[in-house]
Amino acid sequence: MSTPDEEACRSTGTPDPARRSALRLTIGYLYPSVLSQYGDWGNVLCLEQRCRWRGIAAEVLPLEVDTPIDPSAVDLFFMGGGADSQQRLIARDLVVVKGDAIRTAIEAGSVALLICAGYQMWGRLYRPFRGDDLAGLGVFDAETIHWAAEEQTKITDITSAGRGRMVGNMVVEWEGRRLVGFENHGGRTYLGAGARPLGRVVMGAGNNGKDRTEGAIYRHAYGTYLHGPVLPKNPALADHLIGLALQRRYGEVALAPLDDGLEAQAQAVALHLRR
């Protein structure tokens, strides 16, 4: 009978149990000292732990401002949320210093999870409520416009700042499953023909509060407004990303199942609270 560790290493014509110790992933964490609002760092911890439980080594590589990227070295990129001011701090570096390498990596099969500001900055542009547009990576065929810029209204105080924000719990239909989390964003994201949505909004606003779409997918890059962090309460999404990242390096690898009882309870409670 196979052990869970052996099952974790089974693949189609690729690694066998004898190569278990060689299975490893590199997670490139973009701007950890600048973008990590709403506990988004927990997504990286979740990916690390779910790999560790399966005997897969996961190295987290901090990719701060001015840190170059080797596109062949990163299996999975992560970028978290932040305010407009924080997006301005990293915008030029993301596009000019890291842009070509990231786009090369994504086209070659690297995986990415982008949350809120990260999601916005991987689109074509972000238009804040004041100041110049911020050019994005263009990985997603998407544009984000702050609600106040879209409605051509001024923000004068905290009350007016919150009037058009999309804040609250969110439930999203994804691949026959339900993802739970919360959103808090002033930007409204509109997808072009080259991007498909991550899922359909069951509860909440999602991309723009109008078309019931949430997030975007291009190749193996996933953008979303789901905070929380999203992965601990949605282990199927976490394992989906891990599986894609392993596939890039090793071919098809069947992940050993984990006991996700607590995660299922957390999601059930979240779904109950969102009714």
- The residue with greater pLDDT, 13 or 63, is 63
What distance in Å separates the CA atoms of residue 42 and residue 233, rounded to the nearest whole number? Answer: 11
Confidence (pLDDT) at 138:
96
- Average pLDDT of the segment spanning 154-167: 78
**Residue in this structure with the two tokens 């596939």, named with its chain if needed:** 247
Domain covering 4-273, topology? Rossmann fold (3.40.50)
Q: Where are the domains of the chain?
A: 4-273
| Residues designated catalytic | 116, 227
Q: Which residues contact 152 (CB under 8 A, 6 or more apart)?
A: none
For residue range 10-53, what is the model confidence (pLDDT) as tens digits? 333 334 444 444 899 999 999 999 987 777 889 999 999 999 99
- pLDDT exceeds 90 at position 262: no
**CA 117 to centroid of chain Cα atoms:** 10
3-state class (DSSP) for residue 87: helix
> Residue 166's pLDDT band (boundaries 50, 70, 90)?
very high
| Alpha-carbon distances, residue 106 vs 7, 69, 192, 194 (angstroms) | 28, 12, 18, 15
Compute the radius of gyration of the chain from its Cα atoms. Answer: 19
Report field, pTM of the whole predicted structure over 0.85: yes
